[in-house]
Amino acid sequence: MKYRLSGALFLAVFLTIGSAWAQTKMRLLSSDEVAASAAKLSSSLIPGIVDSPHAIEDQSFSVEGSGFQSFLLLPVKYEWSNQANSANPADRCGVFVEYSAGASQFLPIDEGLWTCFSFDAVGFVAATNPAPPRLLILYSVLLATHDEQYASIMDWNASSKKYVWNQKLSNRLTLSGKATSIAEIKRLLKGYEGTKSK
């Protein structure tokens, strides 16, 4: 599997300055921390995985805050196949979340619709209540003739106490054609109605 980083965008985190951020802290994980967390990924978390997942170290974070359980966030690339197409596995992207209490979850960010070419950026938007921040993912997919950037939004679900993919909002951002950076995604989100974390 080949991994490529977007030449137009450096791996970065864009933090919003505000009172909410006073209670939320993010830091990049060390190589050892990334390796230890990535070792906990398994086929039970990623059905259809073909090879060992590749964690994107420069965009892996520890997230801590007041009023919610701290967690580790690892963007991951991996090869995936299903029984109908087992001879031609596809490159996919996902997010591994490891919570401090021991629980974990894995969320595919592209739903297998396209080949995930690269992660471009990870960002956060603080919740207005004591809850984990909204996750903003910018990644590139490989289409027939060119690469195209897609946005994926993960919201915290208080009922299940896990992150869920916000398909409607992710599609809206992507179809706008303007979601080309974390800063631009945040600007677009401010202009949308009903985009608060669930």
Reported as a single tens digit per residue, the pLDDT across 154-164 is 999 999 999 99
pTM given for the model: 0.81
* DSSP conformational letter for 192: S
Mean model confidence pLDDT for the chain: 81
- Please list the residues that pair with 141 across neighbouring strands: 116, 148
Residue 31 has φ and ψ, to the nearest 5°, of -60, -40
Q: Tell whether the model's pLDDT for residue 135 goes beyond 60.
A: yes
**Cβ partners under 8 Å of residue 166, min gap 6:** 153, 154, 155
Cβ-contact 179, 137 below 8 angstroms: no
Element (H, E) at 130: none
Burial class (CB in 10 A: 0-12, 13-18, 19+), 154: buried
**174 in the Ramachandran plot: left (φ > 0), alpha (ψ -120 to 50) or beta?**
alpha
Bigger pLDDT: 84 or 115?
Answer: 115
Separation between Cα atoms, residue 135 and residue 31, nearest integer Å: 22
Q: Tell whether the model's pLDDT for residue 11 goes beyond 80.
A: no
Please tell me the predicted confidence (pLDDT) of residue 45: 85
Bigger pLDDT: 40 or 198?
Answer: 40
Please tell me the predicted confidence (pLDDT) of residue 38: 93
Residue given tokens 């039970």 in the structure block: 44
* DSSP conformational letter for 49: B
Predicted confidence band of residue 122 (pLDDT cuts 50, 70, 90) = very high
Separation between Cα atoms, residue 91 and residue 81, nearest integer Å: 9
Please tell me the predicted confidence (pLDDT) of residue 3: 40
Separation between Cα atoms, residue 60 and residue 72, nearest integer Å: 7
Please tell me the predicted confidence (pLDDT) of residue 16: 36
Percent of the chain with pLDDT over 90: 51
- Please list the residues that pair with 99 across neighbouring strands: 71
Separation between Cα atoms, residue 133 and residue 187, nearest integer Å: 16
Whole-angstrom CA distances from 70 to 26, 36, 60, 66, 103 are 10, 16, 14, 9, 11
Separation between Cα atoms, residue 32 and residue 30, nearest integer Å: 5
Percent of the chain with pLDDT over 70: 79
Please give the order of strands across the beta sheet that includes 134-142: 115-125, 134-142, 147-157, 162-165
